[in-house]
Amino acid sequence: MITVDEYENFDAVGLATLIADKEVSALEVVESAIARIESRNSALNAVIATLFDDARVAVGRGLPRGPLSGVPYLVKDLNTWIEGVPATNGSRAFREHVPETDSILISRLRAAGLVILGKTNTPELGLNICTAPSLFGATKNPFDPQRSAGGSSGGSACAVAAGMVPAAHATDSGGSIRIPASNCGLFGLKPTRARVPLGHDKPEGLAGFSAVHAVTHSVRDSAVLLDVTAGPMAGDIYSAPAMNMSFLDSIEKPFQSVRIALWTEGLAGEKIDPVCKDAAKQAAMLCESLGHDVEETRPDIDGDSLRGAFDVLFSANIHNVVERYRVENPSIDIETVFEPVTVACSRAAGRFSAADYAAGIECTQQAARDLSRFFAKHDVLLTPTLAKPPLPLGEISMMMDDWTSYLDKMLNEIPFTPLFNATGAPAASLPLAKCPNGLPVGVQMGAGLGKENLLLRLSRALELAAPWHQRI
């Protein structure tokens, strides 16, 4: 028998081991997770739909003998299809959309033995670095309910940090795994573009910016989740470099010193809070103590041009969603179902031409080439994850009706994360620091295309050297 309190002492791999060794049953673990969600979610608003009865039925029917058999899991409610469960994308416009099938991603999660307990909160269309959709309300930071859990995977990060589940599904189109991981004291890896299928079985998300993985406490959980979900999907228009060993095996592989570039200034001159700068510098010193070489330098990438490309590509892709909805629902005023900034973003796309869109794509491709050249001389780029510690609730609101001001405000908070979405390269946020008031502060590490194994291995070494949890 496992108590609710004991449940929190284990990561996903640890729980799976207990179940496999028959020290506890899968049902006991699932019931512990349900109890945690029922007791804690009302104060935090991380979980917006529950599948408790379905989970109990799945356990009773018998679970696949995968590496995570019996482990409770939550799925972010953004572009991810679960059969029979509304896929709202955090929007009133899609609250009646109910997929008829599981996506390939969900099928892979189920095949690993994970037990899906519900869906987590996300801002409308993932268009905020905080999570507070009009449809479901704000998700609060477990460390301080007056602060944001981050976005757009804020519900997932909050649920994991609050001990509801050991790990949860997350997506990332500009930092949406790493931002809430930083705010909630978790490990969050954005994998290489196309490493993991998107949750709606489409070959591309937001001009190639989108990636899918998870937020976790432990590095090994992230590695095994990547093992069970990675692999191409028919029709993929990108391909991630093949791996010669499992990600879980790679974290235990000895490796020699790596060349780490430390960069603490904003790509386009954004102001960085001293607490965040210091977190990155302290992480660099820890890396040096482990025998790695650290040099202060930055990639030669035009941050202002990249911000301009984000404007073009994001507004065009949001306009595509809003316009398709308008055509399919001609009797509905889009302003009554979409949030003000979403409507403003859609309309802002009219400022740009097809040539502007092509130039935006070319800009991101140039950044990818520049970053690749940088990684020929350096193995890892170490930065703060964010420009500031967790923001107060409501600091960045989708009630704004000026897209340009909104985007500038948002990008000023995330000067380091979108680069890895634009280029497709992997990056992770590690919870290596805290503010004087105890709020978590993340540190980002990025590497070259296909180098998740390197990031996981180095993250594991840092996790052992300066543990941020007791679930190892």
What is the pLDDT, as a whole number, of residue 388?
A: 98
Q: Are 334 and 91 in contact (CB under 8 A)?
A: no
pLDDT tens-digit readout, 52-81:
999 999 999 999 999 999 999 999 999 999
- Residue 147's pLDDT band, with cuts at 50, 70 and 90, is very high
What is the pLDDT, as a whole number, of residue 79?
A: 96
**pTM > 0.95:** yes
- Residue 251's pLDDT band, with cuts at 50, 70 and 90, is very high
Question: Mean of the pLDDT values across residues 282-298?
Answer: 98
Whether pLDDT at 252 is above 70 = yes
Which domains occur in the chain, in start order?
Answer: 4-258+429-465 (3.90.1300.10)
pLDDT tens-digit readout, 155-183:
999 999 999 999 999 999 999 999 999 99
pLDDT tens-digit readout, 309-329:
999 999 999 999 999 999 999
pLDDT tens-digit readout, 399-414:
999 999 999 999 999 9
- Residue 259's pLDDT band, with cuts at 50, 70 and 90, is very high
- Residue 3's pLDDT band, with cuts at 50, 70 and 90, is confident
Question: Mean of the pLDDT values across residues 435-443?
Answer: 97
At residue 428, φ and ψ (nearest 5 deg) are -135, 145
At residue 92, φ and ψ (nearest 5 deg) are -60, -25
Question: Mean of the pLDDT values across residues 90-116?
Answer: 98
pLDDT tens-digit readout, 440-465:
999 999 999 999 999 999 999 999 99
- Residue 1's pLDDT band, with cuts at 50, 70 and 90, is low
Question: Mean of the pLDDT values across residues 146-158?
Answer: 98
Active site residues: 76, 152, 176
pLDDT tens-digit readout, 361-396:
999 999 999 999 999 999 999 999 999 999 999 999
